[in-house]
Structure 1
């Protein structure tokens, strides 16, 4: 996708630091189930503020609307929130349902998040009540110990390479990339809020694996990886790289393939279909820049070159075709870079980026998406960059609103590519809050033994973009349930 929905949500003055989730212990009585339970957590915390979340479970009769109240004990003040209407009077905080999430059946849960300020101490709030009924208690409450953590996973991701038009593992078995995108690493850092959007601990990665996904695509930000001066130090350079390496390791530990991908990059573009006028990596640019993108890929490849389980996606969604109306110029720019018509900065072409990767000695599988936001592969084979290792894959993105979003287009433009090189649909999705279109995409790709990844494993809503989940425990949206059930059926 060309923009992550959460970009405008966290517009506050303070910066969010990446810290471990701190969950307040649930208070229960020995005996009957509480009328309602509330799980409270601090997901990020910094010098003067923090990001918190509540997960409410209703164990009473179904309700058509809900209101959660609780008290902060040490001056914390809610400044902004989502998935609920947040308000505060003195120490008392209220979170009331939005118009779209008021119904709460017996046993059902709903999650909401907020930003708040704090000073001195940031202890968990007390006295949670759902529609006036005390939660986490039944009779005289007694604290319980937190649940034991699961043992670390012991899976192993396959070591991949290209063989003809297939991806295969070290033993020569064909491997399809089937999974999800995990957005966040491309925008949180450059906006000054953190590194990832939502949890990326082992439980959160396990939730992806539980869908029977075998691949996770991880969008990255060029300026954050390189630690450029416009990035807050705690979210860039060594800290950012360490966080990405940690997520990659968790993905691999669950037996899944990580794809690290350059999503947002440097370079000022104000022409047709510009996502922003900023020179910095704050939106999708038409092409990667020659100033930093080769350095980014040399660094990324150097980091992961000894791990053939990691794949590299060179650039999210090229669109030099929007900067020039000449198709030949657009494809030449895509492959060769340099001075491109309609683009004011010096461009790094796909060949430049392949060379940057291979110059480190890395033989990892490399993906390259075509024109029109990776939706056009019509001349991909003609302009395919040279790869001395032969480990090059064609990448394709498709949404229901794209130009090439029909079986006739796929038959005429994708099938010839897939006959010669592996083809991975790095993003599939739709803006209908349903899954009819992606069902059609998956069937076409299944019939040809090809790969696809759903956009995106983030808890946004349909108005912001295709979101597979409503909770990082893996609860699917009405759109995401199509991918989840399909992956599980394939695995079965």
Structure 2
């Protein structure tokens, strides 16, 4: 959302049919402990696909790296995976540690998961090797095996209650294979307060304030950020910069998760001087929305954010708020090329970081978190998103879209022609929906269109601003809705879950 600066404001998450979890029991000699144990589970299965999980326990001396191998006996094919580097050669599957989970102390365990395909039958592997050592049996097993209880419940979903989200075809699924939607609100403030020298957040973000969001039946909170504040550049007051800012973000993420909601970290304001068509400001600093992220700082920002949260796959990354290179370039093709590839873009005076640069920055850290990428025209145009879709080695990428009643693509005809083809191939998340009329008839139309297709959306914004300055959902941080907010609140509460 192109909201006014703080000074002006002061003046005015079902297509998958799950089967029961199937696990391989651990068999050991009576009274003996194997060198390693592996528990294999099929946590979800549908027409030609399935989701699997392994839990590895090291029962010998500590190791600094690990590699698990096993064989598929039914011709299954490995798809994407998480919490390990997964590969397949013939029938043999290998799961190797990532940088953050390679150390396994004596008695320590690690879990990882994957998606696969099957045809005919889907038998579970019967033999596993950890660093070349056969697991689940000791060196001299007795003829009377003792079965170990089969674990129940879904695989580990991270260190909090929200699900670990994966892009599976055009759906978002949790670690248990169930389809998920991201439904909630934006919590603005972190993008502008620090750069304007007022603080870090706009309004309270204590436990009570975050519980008020959850009370609306929201399951996601989108948190706009500022790259200069995160990186601690010299133009930001020290008390609002660097480690102070990062710690504040981490604390808010923890509170969001403690209330069972998914945290979505989004880069809103960036460095780079732009004074062309539709410029929000002439300042080189991150004091407004720029047409594209900058190569000087944005990849470093995402490298740092990804390193901070890569061990927590429940956190979602939204790469850049509202690209609008189309306002600077001569043609739409040039705009989309700039969007994906960055570099020297017509009409933009700084070196641009394209969406591919940012995906690469995140994935280079080893982070497998779900990534969102919004289109051009302030994320309201997805007409060529599929054509210019960035390459993601983790295959965990979704399309982000924004819509307000004053946007170009703000009617069902446009949604049917432009959004439906995208939503048929990748998960689609409306990261911002809003209405500046102080009513909610328009967002009601948006939500119905998205509900009918099982898609995700988040309202802008959970801030107590005057509705005349932009869509504000609340008049008090206890969750009292504005006339506009009533529409979103009542609708979220009417949904299951």
Q: What's the TM-score once normalised by structure 1's chain length?
A: 0.70
TM-superposition CA deviations, 1:44-101 (whole Å, max 9, x none): xxxxxxxxxxxxxxxxxxxxxxxxxxxxxxxxxxxxxxxxxxxxxxxxxxxxxxxxxx
Distance 1:458 1:491 in 2: 25
The structural deviation recorded for 1:427 is 0.1
Residues 300/7 of structure 1: CA separation in 2 closer, same or farther (3 Å cut): farther
Distance 1:481 1:10 in 2: 24
TM-superposition CA deviations, 1:411-443 (whole Å, max 9, x none): 000000000000000000011000000000000
Q: Which of 466, 476, 479 is the matching residue for 1:474?
A: 479
Task: Report the counterpart of residue 340 of structure 1 in structure 2.
Answer: 345
Distance 2:441 2:496 in 1: 21
Q: Which of 382, 386, 400 is the matching residue for 2:387?
A: 382
Task: Report the counterpart of residue 210 of structure 1 in structure 2.
Answer: 215
Other structure's SS at 1:472 match: coil
Is contact 1:166–1:421 with CA below 8 Å preserved after alignment?
yes
Distance 2:276 2:465 in 1: 29
Task: Report the counterpart of residue 131 of structure 1 in structure 2.
Answer: none
Distance 1:377 1:393 in 2: 12
Distance 1:241 1:300 in 2: 9
Other structure's SS at 2:403 match: strand
Is contact 2:330–2:346 with CA below 8 Å preserved after alignment?
no
Task: Report the counterpart of residue 325 of structure 2 in structure 1.
Answer: 320
Distance 1:212 1:312 in 2: 22
Task: Report the counterpart of residue 2 of structure 1 in structure 2.
Answer: 2
Residues 387/199 of structure 1: CA separation in 2 closer, same or farther (3 Å cut): same
Q: Which of 434, 440, 461 is the matching residue for 1:435?
A: 440
In the TM superposition, 1:40-439 aligns within 5 A as 156-439=161-444
Residues 397/7 of structure 1: CA separation in 2 closer, same or farther (3 Å cut): farther
Is contact 2:5–2:192 with CA below 8 Å preserved after alignment?
no
Distance 1:448 1:9 in 2: 36
TM-superposition CA deviations, 1:152-190 (whole Å, max 9, x none): xx9711111111111111101111000000000000000
Distance 2:218 2:271 in 1: 32
Distance 1:9 1:370 in 2: 28
Distance 2:235 2:283 in 1: 12
Q: Point out where structure 2 has 5 or more consecutive residues left out of the alignment.
A: 12-158
The structural deviation recorded for 1:473 is 0.2
TM-superposition CA deviations, 1:441-477 (whole Å, max 9, x none): 0000000000000000000011110000000000000
Distance 1:228 1:375 in 2: 31
Distance 1:374 1:194 in 2: 28
TM-superposition CA deviations, 1:339-373 (whole Å, max 9, x none): 00000000000000000000000000000000000
Task: Report the counterpart of residue 25 of structure 1 in structure 2.
Answer: none
Q: What's the TM-score once normalised by structure 2's chain length?
A: 0.70
The structural deviation recorded for 1:4 is 4.3
The structural deviation recorded for 1:2 is 1.4
> Cα RMSD over matched residues?
1.1
The structural deviation recorded for 1:220 is 0.1
The structural deviation recorded for 1:9 is 4.0
Q: Point out where structure 1 has 5 or more consecutive residues left out of the alignment.
A: 12-153
Distance 1:9 1:398 in 2: 22
Runs of 4+ in 1 over 3 A off after TM superposition: 4-7
Is contact 1:265–1:281 with CA below 8 Å preserved after alignment?
yes
The structural deviation recorded for 1:5 is 5.4
